[in-house]
Amino acid sequence: MARQAHRTRDIHQQITPYERLPELFDFLAEWDIISLSETAADLFAELRRQKIRAGSQDLKIAAIAMTEDALLLSANHREFQKVPGLRVENWLRE
């Protein structure tokens, strides 16, 4: 939303994105955020040793999801499907 607001120099076109910002915070406040744990860090290191060809951030996300036995929702299915044992779905695909 801030990105939308910064795309224009017209201050009046920035009003709507800034009005929507509190809604985003309210929405995100209901979510549980899972941190990188010692177990996830160990799994990340193991995935790196396996030479899985995925970005470091994606491997961290995968490791966190796997240690929490969580289903990972991502539109980046091609990258995450490289990680063996990771449950990943793309709910944006029709």
Segments of 7-79 assigned E as strands:
72-73
Domains of the chain: 1-31 (no CATH), 38-89 (3.40.50.1010)
Dist. CA 45–CA 39, nearest whole Å: 10
pLDDT digits (tens, 9 = 90+) for 11-55: 888 888 889 999 999 998 998 888 899 999 999 999 999 999 899
Nearest-10 crossing angle of helices 56-67, 38-49: 130
* Beta bridge pairs of residue 89: 73
Q: State the residue for tokens 């955020």.
A: 33
pTM > 0.85: no
